[in-house]
Amino acid sequence: MSFENIIVTAENGIGQITINRPAKLNALNVATIQELHDAFENLESNSDVRVIIITGEGEKAFVAGADISEFASFTIQEGAQLAAQGQELLFNFIENLRKPVIAAVNGFALGGGLELAMACHFRIASDNAKMGLPEVSLGVIPGYGGTQRLPQLIGKGRAMEMIMTAGMVSAEEGFRSGLVNHVVPQSELLDFTRGIASKIMRNSPFAIGRAIKCVNANFKDGVNGFETEIRNFGKCFGTEDFKEGTTAFLEKRKAEFSRK
């Protein structure tokens, strides 16, 4: 599969997607959103890949937002459609993937860029990262899930302030508020992120996929997360992973999980 706006690699169990429009600070145009969807779909079905990392090319930006030049003259209907398609194709799609997706935030993550990072299962930032939802400064609001995921991650009051001021927070501030899990020097960002991916890869892919589903259930309308947990807990008992994990423990050896 060849792409114009992204670079995709798969090595040692880790799929990496790098958004590659550095001259535009990796801004998300519609073509890039489609390519990202295709790349995630592809890595999800690649049984050699267990964890996916997404980052931006260059040292300046993860993603500086949705591509403003594309939507500046949109109508009401076109605006709503842009948000709906983007949410379905990419942001909700990532959140609901069964494989863990980690955002390695290597610089500006603004607007759609922060929304992309927030759709991932968790975030690691380089020390130069700056994050914000500046949409109201453009006369619009976040449209790729930002008004929902930011309060989920940092609480309503802090999210309200960030959205209303259109301001940026530093990596350290993001760490303190729970927006990012770790802050590391930029030169170490990818190695550090791969290290966490390696820890994840020691565990049961089936169980991880179900755990993602259950955690997400807490944030879905009309879904009872506790019931989702009970159902999926039960499903684990029918898997080879469960057999291998418990047998390995009892035999005092490391589990070898092979299935997707």
Query: Which residues of this protein are in contact with ligand COA, per CB under 6 A?
Result: 24-25, 27, 64-69, 108, 110-112, 134-135, 138
CB 8 within 8 Å of CB 15:
yes
- Return the number of the residue (69 or 96) whose C-beta is nearest ligand COA: 69
> How many residues are present in the chain?
260
259: number of Cβ within 10 Å: 11
Question: 88 catalytic, yes or no?
Answer: no
SS3 216: helix
Catalytic residue among 70, 115, 188, 244: 115
30: number of Cβ within 10 Å: 15
44: number of Cβ within 10 Å: 19
- Of 139, 160, 141, the C-alpha closest to 150 is 160
Minimum Å gap between C-beta 66 and ligand COA is 4
The single residue listed with the structure tokens 């589903």 is 213
Cα separation, 21 vs 8, whole angstroms = 14
Minimum Å gap between C-beta 150 and ligand COA is 14
Catalytic residue among 135, 227, 240, 256: 135
The single residue listed with the structure tokens 């942001």 is 91
> For the chain, percent helix, then strand, then coil, each to nearest 5?
50, 15, 30
Minimum Å gap between C-beta 112 and ligand COA is 6
- Return the number of the residue (69 or 181) whose C-beta is nearest ligand COA: 69
- Return the number of the residue (65 or 100) whose C-beta is nearest ligand COA: 65
Minimum Å gap between C-beta 33 and ligand COA is 13
Q: Tell me which amino acid residue 220 is.
A: K
- Return the number of the residue (116 or 197) whose C-beta is nearest ligand COA: 116
- Of 81, 125, 86, 84, the C-alpha closest to 102 is 125
Minimum Å gap between C-beta 94 and ligand COA is 18
146: number of Cβ within 10 Å: 23
Question: 135 catalytic, yes or no?
Answer: yes
- Return the number of the residue (57 or 241) whose C-beta is nearest ligand COA: 57
Catalytic residues: 115, 135
